[in-house]
Structure 1
Amino acid sequence: MKGEKAKQVIKNILSPLDIRINGDRPWDIQINNPQFYQRVMSGGSLALGESYMDGWWDCNALDEFFKRLLESRIDKKNKSVKPAILWEVFKARVMNLQRGARAFIIGRRHYDTGNRLFKLMLDQGLNYSCGYWHNACDLDEAQIRKLDLICRKIGLEQGMTVLDIGCGWGGFAKYAAETYGVKVKGITVSKEQAGYAGEQSKGLDVTIELADYHDLNERFDRIVSIGMFEHVGWKNYRSFMDVVHRCLKDDGMFLLHTIAGNTPAKATDPWIGTYIFPNSMLPSASQIFRAAEGLFILEDLHSLGRYYDQTLMAWYDNFTRNWDRLKDEYDMRFFRMWRYYLLSCAASFRSRRNQLLQIVFSKQGIDQVFRSEGELFI
């Protein structure tokens, strides 16, 4: 598509969304390279992200720009299928991208990006998942409230054994062991996370291992998985549930904390898959429950998606405020990539295109109510 025609097509797409080309509002886009239009028309969302990383366009409020795009369901209205999207779908359908050695790719490509980066961006406990902002004043408090919410939902008691699948930098393991007196085993596919989590939990009844969940074969009173299921892949949802069922005692409980899409998916956005979370994809609620059928009983379902927007904006504020302390380790293209990632994801929750679910399962049903009498989680 030639330049002027491509420009007019994009203008026609953006105008009904109240987004102007070279406008003066924060969510308007500023074009720095006239080849931007052709590049995006031929390359779709991958090209949109790459052209931003390359400085071909700018936007002061990327989160508001993406909120308008996502609320309009522009991706559903555009009938043309880009090659990058076809490739992502092909890979996801034909290959099992999350089994064997591939399970560790996400650790190397994303979570090993640098502990210093995440220390400056996240809360003090390095919790890289949605905070619980109800009555919280800041990010640290929101994350502590999230950890305690999880502990209360699964009824942790002193002496229990707990498995944390995808333990990250050990925030939950450390909190649960210190606060509730439980024994925790955490596993991760990131060397950087495993090393840090092990150091942070010294002196506690916590074990951290670099391992794939498929290899687990121990029994625990409680199992949690916080922000890891997004890397399991649709072909492995059932096998993940099989592992949890195998490792959970008959009277145990399992809490799954995961981002979820509104509809079933078998691939991810090409830009996110290429630059941020390789081999990832978001499950839908129906995919999760179908995978759990016959293995678990649903005890509780809690939607927290509105809090992820707030969490991501807090991470973005920390990242930009501390950029001067990071810029010697990362170049400006990385800064633009990370900014694009955090703000576009914030918009995905603000527009309710993505959700955050906390789901509690049991194997045989539970009689005890673990919440405080009359408490309502909102």
Structure 2
Amino acid sequence: MKTSTFELVDAQRVPKPIADMLHNAGIRINGSASHDIQIHDERLFNAVLSHGSLGLGEAYMNGWWQVPQLDEMMFRLMRNNADEHTKAWTKMQWLMLALREKVINLQAPTRAFQVGEHHYDTGNDLFEAMLDPLMIYSCGYWEHAQNLEEAQLHKLDMICQKLQLQSGEKLLDIGCGWGGLAWYAATRYGVQVLGITVSSQQQQYARARCAGLPVEIELIDYRDLQGQFDKVVSVGMFEHVGLKNYPAYFDAIQRLMKPDGLFLLHTIGGFDKTDATDPWIDKYIFPNGKIPSPGEIAEHLDGKLVLEDWHNFGTDYDKTLVAWHVNVENAWPVLKANYDERFRRMWTYYLLTCAAYFRARKGMLWQLVFSHRERPSVYRSTRPRF
């Protein structure tokens, strides 16, 4: 997104805490480098000092500041742990968010469909423009890929190989999105698939994509599922489960997976434990989300499942998010008929700030493979080469 030609605010008017934070991250105010911030409205200062990351994001949506390369500026801030400074300025806000997560089950069954309605039902036209042809809305696997489509196909095949899918098996896809993995597994590996989602638009799209295949797509919460499956997979859904529901989630996996089955969990992870979700992301993108730390996953596995493999390729999410942003920008001449400029700035901030999060290695991308202790055969980890 190009920098505006609006009048710039005098750098001398920037409050010292903000000026110091930017300086320490190597960011000049109204400088000429691609990562330098251009400030157009002094209301930015109170927004950041009063509301931290929420204020910074909303100020960007309002056009109060810009930067030629948003992801690089945010990377420098995150690498320098600037988020810790803003948390110190807004202690009460973070305390309230942390208290909310402790007191309320934000991902209770009665709230399970909120994220679908808020985010995944935004509009299939947006996601069709942003994603690859199979509409895979999760991190691609870029080790041997030349473009987004290849990265997603390689990721899908790696999942199927890690699950050791065999023709005729029944696969449960928890959080099936627009049906890309279900379609791939059914057509390439000959399995039957039950995909579940909390988005009505995803359900309709996935059913149309998988018409004529041994694939069912249902609008249902994972806690309400019955039956047993040879293999279970969950891609990009665990971030919506919530810490209070990890016991119920892993109990459901235990119950739904056959004794000799395998379960693959593909999830974003955090470098360290957090008490609350970033308030801007929670308000505008993924309500009620929770990114797990390694310990928060591990502590809920005792006596339940055997961890067979833990694979991190988090830096690949940086490439994936940047590719999505390029796709949206290229499609904007068409998309702008349905989305206004404020939405465009919100979506840009979402994609490029998240890219910076992974570039700074605050965010990880994990694929974990689990089995029952009773599984008779030995599991051999795989890292396919394409």
TM-score range for the pair, normalised by the shorter chain length: over 0.9
**Match of 1:11?**
19
**Match of 1:273?**
282
1:42 paired with 2:50, answer yes
Tell me the secondary structure at the aligned position of residue 322 of structure 1. Answer: helix
Q: Give the Å deviation of 1:370.
A: 5.3
What TM-score, normalized by structure 1, do the two folds share?
Answer: 0.95
**Match of 1:187?**
196
Paired residue for 2:299, among 286, 290, 297? 290
Alignment deviations for residues 23-72 of structure 1 (CA, whole Å, 9 cap, x no partner): 11111111110221122111111000001101110011110011001111
**Match of 2:29?**
21
**Match of 1:144?**
153
Tell me the secondary structure at the aligned position of residue 301 of structure 1. Answer: strand
Does structure 1 conserve the Cα–Cα contact (< 8 Å) formed by 2:53 and 2:83? no
Does structure 1 conserve the Cα–Cα contact (< 8 Å) formed by 2:197 and 2:219? yes
Structure 2 unaligned residues grouped into runs of 5+: 1-10
**Match of 2:341?**
332
Alignment deviations for residues 167-215 of structure 1 (CA, whole Å, 9 cap, x no partner): 0001110000000000000000000000100110001000000001110
Aligned residues: 374
1:164 paired with 2:165, answer no
1:197-208 mapped onto 2 (5 Å cutoff): 197-208=206-217
Paired residue for 2:113, among 99, 104, 116? 104
Structure 1 unaligned residues grouped into runs of 5+: none
Q: Which whole-Å CA distance do the structure 2 matches of 1:165 and 1:271 have between them?
A: 26
Does structure 2 conserve the Cα–Cα contact (< 8 Å) formed by 1:234 and 1:266? no
Could you say if the C-alpha distance between residues 42 and 6 of structure 1 is closer, same or farther in structure 2, counting changes exceeding 3 Å? farther
**Match of 1:321?**
330
Q: Give the Å deviation of 1:4.
A: 7.2
Give percent identity, aligned residues only.
Answer: 49
Q: Give the Å deviation of 1:101.
A: 2.3
Q: Give the Å deviation of 1:80.
A: 3.3
Q: Give the Å deviation of 1:366.
A: 5.4
Paired residue for 2:61, among 32, 40, 53? 53
Tell me the secondary structure at the aligned position of residue 299 of structure 2. Answer: helix
Q: Which whole-Å CA distance do the structure 2 matches of 1:173 and 1:266 have between them?
A: 34
Does structure 1 conserve the Cα–Cα contact (< 8 Å) formed by 2:49 and 2:89? no
Does structure 2 conserve the Cα–Cα contact (< 8 Å) formed by 1:152 and 1:371? no
Q: Give the Å deviation of 1:294.
A: 1.0
Q: Which whole-Å CA distance do the structure 1 matches of 2:139 and 2:354 have between them?
A: 12
Q: Which whole-Å CA distance do the structure 2 matches of 1:177 and 1:89 have between them?
A: 42
Q: Which whole-Å CA distance do the structure 2 matches of 1:134 and 1:202 have between them?
A: 32
Alignment deviations for residues 235-294 of structure 1 (CA, whole Å, 9 cap, x no partner): 011110001111000111000000000122342000000000000010011111211221
Q: Which whole-Å CA distance do the structure 1 matches of 2:16 and 2:285 have between them?
A: 31
Q: Which whole-Å CA distance do the structure 2 matches of 1:112 and 1:371 have between them?
A: 36
Tell me the secondary structure at the aligned position of residue 15 of structure 2. Answer: helix
What TM-score, normalized by structure 2, do the two folds share?
Answer: 0.94
1:251 paired with 2:260, answer yes
Paired residue for 1:64, among 66, 72, 78? 72
Q: Give the Å deviation of 1:137.
A: 1.3
**Match of 1:367?**
377
Q: Give the Å deviation of 1:307.
A: 0.5
Alignment deviations for residues 316-375 of structure 1 (CA, whole Å, 9 cap, x no partner): 100111011100101100000000000000000000000000000001245345567xx6
Does structure 2 conserve the Cα–Cα contact (< 8 Å) formed by 1:43 and 1:82? no
Alignment deviations for residues 69-120 of structure 1 (CA, whole Å, 9 cap, x no partner): 1111122355333443233212211110111221100000000000010000
Comparing 335-344 with 76-85, which one deviates more in the overlay? 76-85
Q: Aligned-pair RMSD on alpha carbons?
A: 1.7
**Match of 1:341?**
350
